[in-house]
Chains A and B, each alone.
Chain A
């Protein structure tokens, strides 16, 4: 078991008009791809990827719901509850790695990009967003390897969706591992591309969660649980999945189309 720790926020970094990184010290481990449950007092508790590992951890949050919008009013010294880390990790296997991230999905893969680079792998990152202002962690990724950028509106880099940018990179270069995180339809495109080309692929999947520890069944994904069997799933499992890119569970447990 891992107890919840209530910790003060040390630093807030505005990444874009809707996304902020919150830094805090907490006595928990954490490896690339893992997540923590974050209690936003009075609002909600949500699963969030660790965007910074090490002693001063970080979460990078897109304000799109009540609780995450409430977080926008947070100041250093305000407290959150954290428990974890939970879930599996990105497996750091491969010499020539392509990381493909869309939107806030970059928060899940950035730690893996840095970990791959640290162990000597050659990492290329394709990062996409709706518009230039929303691109996340381009500088951090650049410190770990080559970065290619796409925007839906063409305000920076490749004009179009990030899987199209990634496909161009796949045509020009050889990769032995692909990591991806972002909107699920985007990840589905990436996983299909990778599987078609016979390249290993890992995708970090997101589902509504309650417990985070493998008991409540809220994050059921096929017959697996995103919180303990994931959040990172590999190409073969995703190719066989009935849910990936197609279905999710509502808060009341009904299976509906994405």
Chain B
């Protein structure tokens, strides 16, 4: 009853092609952005920032990048941890080796290096497909693991193998409170999310989806596989690289190569599968699910009064995570995003029966 397009007529092409054609959606997004940028920094505790919101934002960005590659272009990639690592280490190197390098430029530089790395390790996709490609991308993951721990120039000759980002600041604005870090991540997520949304609505995005659906047919009608696949790898690893740099600089502060291990790649893949492949919203849902689940799992037994040792709590968490993944895949293979759009469809009629 409230969520209808009744009476909303578009009078220009621009209005017809906007991302949120329904006015209620636009209002909702405005409210959410207002809450996110203004209300949350003033009212939420530091712990919530550090444990929930900042990891959510950075993982959402990384999941967004991966969704472009896997969900929109159909190239299964298990090397995301490596792309994040490249972004993080490249940004770190730019930050420490160049005097007075602005933070945003080093983040972008990290993204660009990750883009180059992604394109190089995306070259096999021109020849290999499907599960073979998935395992081939593992080569990127293990290669980067090795490079980060064996090549001294990656860590700027750090003796312990771990690096730490120093004080973050943009212009004169020093970013040291969790609320400011949250705003930085939120800003980057909004900008890159908007870019990604527009990219997937454009011809490039349609090329990607054509490659995903049937690449032979796509090349028959004139879509060049090289450009489509490599651009997907490039854009995806750019975004993932920036997410990796943020993960290291903002969330971790100091990190060693194990922070971007194979586990991370699997986690991101989980996020986009549960959230919904081929959906920008889905990446956000998946990241939220992934960040909130361990918190729920640690707090619920506490509330119910069941004592659990930390070791068995971790194992039970593993088990519940695995079981939930299988459950979600059986019940809704298109993920939470599909559940959300089904709900919106039902909302168009509510409370009327037809």
- Please indicate whether A and B come from the same complex rather than being unrelated chains: no
